């Protein structure tokens, strides 16, 4: 009995009661709950911080960019009534301001240059110009904006050239500006009209050592060229005067302008007509009708900085920009580029900025307009005076003085970013010295009269072009590799292959860019036939190897374990690559005359740059493949095994199961992988910076480079002026890139959710 009882107790041991309320277990549960709460709050706070950081970045970029699209601001100060102006100071011909806005100059028809304090209007100095006795000043002209040269036309047919200067000194640590008049060509006047008739219009231009003077009397035109040469050995200066005889006109001349290269002479005459003469050929280029409205006429005109463009104002308040451009026949013609409208009153005076392609205009009703030619932008229209006066714009374009009705009206102008407009950023713009409107990015140049070209279109196009060619290479390879690795490959081989591919993601992009720019680009240039034959032979070689493998006896095929067949392709791929590249010189000799690059350029007419989209596609595709592969492989591998086994059990082949079950179920993850890869390609900087040549062109040509938004910001941000237009446009490029990736990722997430909902029932 005892043995039976012991045996029964052994088979059915007494129940052991476990106490879950011991202090140790309670402490463990409290710690677990605390960790859960901390983790939940940590994830919540971290996610909100990421969202807040992105939002703050967006608003900061917008904060820097918004001033670009604000207009100009004009503030007036108390009018000045200086005593010298109340006296008989003569009719004003010209007013000018110096760099610091502290000293102004007024030239009258009495041949006097009067310098005054711009703050108080007090007279500083009065200079009597050496006008011959008994002669009167009948006209005045200046060189292009920014030049201190002035020419006076006189009643005896002579012209006198002088310049105004402002010397800055610091006696007793106090800034002092001393104005002065200089005569770089001597005080003797030049005779333009040999018959001694009064010069009604006069103009000048200096190019190097050559001075060109032009004047008119009624419809008669006179042009004089003065050339000075300095002997390098003795320092002796010799000068030579040549008279340029041009065809005469029948209409009275209103204004004359000389091209800064001294190639063209523009003569505005009649009601609204322009005659353009070639100073080199001494011939008439053409007569151009300036206004379609036969009742309107030209009332004011000036040259923009650089002297290439003419701004013409008419009696209907319109302002038009004209410059020389080649037509379809290759001949240079004066063309209307763009127009502006100030009001309905006639334009009285136009004054151009000295450092930007902007200008101001005043009409007969005293209304002032501020414009910018390249941006085709009207920044301000505001009444400032009771009628027409004579105005001056400071070199920094931040101060305006108008003399009207015996008063000086000082105005402060705030116009920091006139160069930017929506049309200038995204549309085609007709720039000076271009034959047609184009998309151009060229933010800086070495000359001071440069016209900024700030079109973001070629940069955006380059960004999409680089991403497109990278995704063409990366997407098929990465998705196909992910599907094969997750679905067909043996687990043992997968554990070796996947970490190696994911390790590629750790490769610094600067190394890839360095390799692509210094090795890959010249190598591809020297082996173009081999590279293209490789792209063609590789798919056929792999298919042929697979077909040959399928025809081998089972005794041989069964020796390779299932899922390890891909290893057989390694020697096939290496052989095809070696064969294609080794045949490159022979193919180049047989089919392309020994140089495929020259054949592409000369025979096909396609531009070839060494650092081009092909190089970027290969290098950036190599960088993007690990991102796409890793996410897509996880998505395919995460498809429930029960779906695969169920499909196979119902009689579907492995390929049918892959295409109709596995890929559809994993499609949200695969799509996410593609979008993340696309985002990586769009935002890539170092590879495109080092392997593209950074040429902002809008061509889909595989053999041309590009410039992307990210690379442009990286290249030009260090050299941009903080707070300037260039600086803010670069921030705008960053904002465009951020918005593009945000919109793209948002759409990708919406599509992914729809795909997940659609195929979740599988």
**CATH number of the domain that 709 lies in?**
1.10.3720.10
pLDDT at 6 over 70: no
pLDDT at 567 over 80: yes
The DSSP H or E segment spanning 384 is none
pLDDT for the residue numbered 9: 52
How far apart, in whole angstroms, are the C-alpha atoms of residue 298 and residue 579?
Answer: 74
Other C-beta atoms lying within 10 Å of the C-beta of residue 164: 20
> Within a domain: residue 277?
yes
pLDDT, mean over the chain: 89
Residues 82 and 201 in one domain: yes
Residues 390 and 493 in one domain: no
Give mean pLDDT, residues 163-167.
94
List C-alpha distances in Å: 253 to 35, 190, 606. Answer: 90, 20, 50
Residues 408 and 461 in one domain: no
Q: List residues bridging with 334 in a β-sheet.
A: 324
Q: Which of 411, 373, 419 is nearest to 392 (CA)?
A: 411
pLDDT band at 430 (very low <50, low <70, confident <90, very high): very high
> Within a domain: residue 440?
no
Residues 150 and 282 in one domain: yes
Residues 390 and 478 in one domain: no
> Within a domain: residue 170?
yes
What are the pLDDT digits (tens) for 224-277?
999 988 777 776 777 888 998 888 877 889 999 999 999 999 999 989 999 999
> Within a domain: residue 630?
yes
**Do 632 and 671 contact (CB within 8 A), yes or no?**
no
C-alpha count within 13 angstroms, C-beta hemisphere, residue 275 = 23
Place of tokens 């000076």: 432
Instruction: Using a pLDDT cut of 70, give the percent of the chain over it.
Output: 97
Task: Read off φ and ψ for residue 149, nearest 5 degrees.
Answer: -75, 140
pLDDT for the residue numbered 558: 82
Give mean pLDDT, residues 372-387.
92
The region, left, alpha or beta by phi > 0 then psi within -120 to 50, assigned to residue 21 is alpha
Residues 229 and 90 in one domain: yes
Mark which of 423, 445, 478 sits at the end of a domain.
423
What are the pLDDT digits (tens) for 398-416?
999 999 888 999 999 999 9
Task: Read off φ and ψ for residue 96, nearest 5 degrees.
Answer: -140, 155
Residues 201 and 255 in one domain: yes
How far apart, in whole angstroms, are the C-alpha atoms of residue 712 and residue 728?
Answer: 13
Instruction: Using a pLDDT cut of 90, give the percent of the chain over it.
Output: 51
How far apart, in whole angstroms, are the C-alpha atoms of residue 587 and residue 534?
Answer: 12
How far apart, in whole angstroms, are the C-alpha atoms of residue 242 and residue 232?
Answer: 23
When mean pLDDT is compared across 16-25, 192-201, 279-288, the lowest value belongs to 16-25
How far apart, in whole angstroms, are the C-alpha atoms of residue 606 and residue 600?
Answer: 6
How far apart, in whole angstroms, are the C-alpha atoms of residue 470 and residue 621?
Answer: 4
List C-alpha distances in Å: 432 to 309, 377, 429, 439, 440. Answer: 7, 16, 10, 13, 12
Mark which of 364, 399, 423 sits at the end of a domain.
423
pLDDT band at 171 (very low <50, low <70, confident <90, very high): confident
How far apart, in whole angstroms, are the C-alpha atoms of residue 476 and residue 128?
Answer: 82
Give mean pLDDT, residues 573-602.
89
Residues 223 and 101 in one domain: yes
**Structure token pair of residue 262:** 């001294």
DSSP-assigned letter for residue 13: P
Residues 419 and 461 in one domain: no
Q: Exposed (0-12), middle (13-18) or buried (19+): which is 633, by Cβ within 10 Å?
A: buried
Residues 317 and 268 in one domain: yes
pLDDT at 721 over 60: yes
Q: 418 by DSSP, 3-state: which? A: coil
List C-alpha distances in Å: 129 to 111, 142, 183, 187. Answer: 5, 16, 10, 9
DSSP-assigned letter for residue 294: T
Torsion angle of the four alpha carbons 573, 577, 578, 579, in this order, in degrees rounded to the nearest 10: 100
Q: Which of 735, 58, 743, 747 is nearest to 459 (CA)?
A: 735
What is the maximum span of the chain, computed from C-alpha positions, in angstroms? 157
Cβ-proximal residues to 217 (8 Å cutoff; 6+ apart), any chain: 157, 193, 197, 198, 199, 200
**Number of domain units in the chain:** 2
> Within a domain: residue 263?
yes
List C-alpha distances in Å: 723 to 281, 375, 443, 450, 731. Answer: 47, 19, 15, 19, 10
How far apart, in whole angstroms, are the C-alpha atoms of residue 153 and residue 161?
Answer: 9
How far apart, in whole angstroms, are the C-alpha atoms of residue 434 and residue 365?
Answer: 36
C-alpha count within 13 angstroms, C-beta hemisphere, residue 455 = 22
Q: Which range of residues forms the domain containing residue 86?
A: 75-423
Give mean pLDDT, residues 50-59.
91
Pairing of strands 399-404, 407-414: antiparallel
Residues 501 and 363 in one domain: no
> Within a domain: residue 222?
yes
pLDDT for the residue numbered 26: 77
What are the pLDDT digits (tens) for 500-534?
988 888 888 889 999 998 899 999 988 899 999 99
Residues 365 and 319 in one domain: yes
Q: Which long-range contacts (CB under 8 A, 24 or more apart) does 733-736 make?
A: 733/456, 733/459, 733/709, 734/61, 734/709, 735/58, 735/61, 735/62, 735/65, 736/456, 736/460, 736/709
How far apart, in whole angstroms, are the C-alpha atoms of residue 622 and residue 478?
Answer: 10
> Within a domain: residue 428?
no
> Within a domain: residue 65?
no
Mark which of 423, 445, 475 sits at the end of a domain.
423
Q: 157 by DSSP, 3-state: which? A: coil
How far apart, in whole angstroms, are the C-alpha atoms of residue 202 and residue 79?
Answer: 32
Q: Which of 74, 95, 101, 118 is nearest to 412 (CA)?
A: 74
List C-alpha distances in Å: 608 to 309, 389, 517, 532, 553. Answer: 35, 57, 15, 15, 50
- What is the DSSP annotation of 202-258? EEEEEETTEEEEEEEETTEEEEEEEEEEE-TTT--EEEEEEEEP----SS-EEEEEE
Strand ordering across the sheet containing 347-352: 347-352, 358-363, 367-372, 377-383
pLDDT at 641 over 60: yes
**Do 205 and 186 contact (CB within 8 A), yes or no?**
no
Task: Read off φ and ψ for residue 85, nearest 5 degrees.
Answer: -80, -30
Q: The domain that contains 220 carries what CATH number?
A: 2.130.10.10
pLDDT for the residue numbered 615: 92
């Amino acid at each position: 009995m005892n043995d039976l009882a012991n045996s029964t107790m052994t088979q059915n041991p007494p129940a052991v009661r476990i106490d879950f309320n011991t202090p140790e277990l309670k402490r463990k549960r409290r710690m677990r709950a605390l960790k859960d709460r901390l983790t939940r709050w940590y994830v919540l706070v971290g996610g909100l911080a990421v969202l807040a950081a992105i939002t703050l970045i967006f608003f900061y970029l917008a904060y820097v960019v918004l001033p670009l699209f604000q207009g100009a601001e004009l503030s007036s100060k108390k009018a000045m009534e200086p005593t010298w102006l109340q006296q008989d100071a003569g009719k004003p011909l010209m007013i000018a301001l110096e760099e610091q806005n502290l000293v102004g100059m007024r030239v009258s028809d009495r041949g006097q240059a009067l310098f005054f304090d711009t703050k108080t209007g007090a007279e500083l100095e009065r200079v009597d110009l050496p006008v011959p006795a008994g002669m009167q000043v009948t006209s005045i002209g200046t060189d292009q904006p920014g030049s201190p040269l002035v020419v006076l036309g006189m009643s005896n047919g002579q012209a006198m050239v002088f310049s105004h200067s402002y010397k800055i000194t610091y006696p007793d640590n106090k800034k002092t500006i001393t104005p002065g008049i200089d005569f770089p060509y001597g005080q003797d006047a030049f005779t333009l009209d040999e018959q001694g008739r009064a010069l009604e219009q006069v103009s000048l231009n200096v190019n190097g050592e050559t001075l060109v003077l032009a004047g008119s009397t009624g419809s008669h035109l006179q042009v004089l060229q003065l050339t000075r040469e300095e002997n390098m050995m003795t320092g002796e200066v010799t000068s030579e005067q040549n008279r340029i005889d041009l065809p005469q006109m029948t209409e009275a001349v209103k204004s004359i302008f000389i091209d800064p290269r001294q190639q063209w002479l523009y003569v505005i005459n009649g009601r609204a007509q322009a005659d353009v003469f070639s100073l080199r050929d001494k011939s008439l280029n053409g007569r151009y009708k300036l206004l379609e409205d036969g009742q309107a006429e030209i009332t004011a005109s000036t040259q923009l900085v650089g002297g290439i463009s003419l701004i013409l104002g008419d009696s209907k308040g319109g302002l038009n920009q004209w410059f020389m451009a080649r037509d379809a026949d290759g001949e240079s013609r004066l063309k209307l580029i763009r127009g502006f409208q100030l009001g309905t009153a006639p334009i009285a005076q136009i004054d151009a900025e000295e450092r930007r392609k902007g200008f101001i205009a005043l009409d007969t009703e005293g209304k002032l307009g501020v414009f910018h030619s390249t941006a085709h932008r009207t920044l301000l229209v505001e009444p400032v005076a009771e009628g027409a006066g004579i105005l001056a714009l400071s070199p920094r374009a931040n101060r305006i003085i108008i003399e009207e009705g015996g008063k000086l009206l000082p105005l402060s102008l705030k116009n920091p970013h006139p160069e930017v407009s929506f049309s200038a950023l995204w549309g085609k713009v007709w720039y000076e010295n271009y034959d047609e409107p184009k998309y151009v990015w060229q933010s800086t140049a070495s000359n001071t009269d440069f016209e900024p070209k700030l079109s973001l279109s070629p940069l955006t196009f380059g960004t999409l072009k680089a991403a497109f060619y990278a995704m063409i290479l990366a997407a098929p390879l990465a998705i196909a590799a992910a599907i094969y690795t997750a679905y067909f490959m043996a687990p043992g081989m997968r554990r070796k292959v996947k970490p190696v591919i994911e390790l590629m993601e750790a490769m610094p992009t600067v190394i890839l860019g360095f390799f692509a720019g210094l090795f890959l680009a010249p190598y591809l240039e020297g082996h173009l036939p081999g590279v293209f034959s490789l792209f063609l032979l590789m798919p056929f070689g792999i298919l042929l190897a697979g077909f040959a493998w399928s025809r081998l006896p089972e005794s041989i095929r069964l020796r390779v374990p299932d899922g390890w067949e891909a290893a057989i392709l390694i020697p096939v791929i290496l052989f095809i690559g070696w064969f294609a590249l080794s045949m490159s010189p022979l193919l180049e000799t047989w089919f392309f005359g020994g140089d495929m690059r020259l054949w592409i350029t000369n025979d096909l007419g396609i531009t070839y740059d060494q650092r081009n989209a092909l190089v970027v596609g290969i290098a950036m595709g190599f960088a993007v493949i690990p991102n796409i592969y890793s996410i897509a492989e996880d998505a395919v591998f995460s498809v429930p095994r029960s779906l695969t086994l169920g499909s196979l059990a119902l009689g579907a082949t492995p390929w049918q199961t892959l295409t109709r079950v596995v890929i559809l179920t994993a499609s949200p993850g695969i799509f996410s992988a593609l979008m993340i890869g696309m985002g990586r390609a769009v935002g890539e900087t170092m590879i495109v910076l080092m392997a593209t040549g950074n040429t902002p062109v809008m061509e889909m040509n595989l053999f041309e480079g590009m410039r992307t938004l990210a690379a442009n910001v990286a290249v030009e941000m260090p050299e941009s002026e903080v707070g300037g237009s260039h600086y803010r446009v670069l921030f705008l490029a960053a904002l465009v890139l951020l918005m593009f990736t945000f919109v793209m990722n948002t759409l990708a997430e919406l599509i992914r959710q729809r795909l997940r909902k659609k195929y979740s029932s599988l």
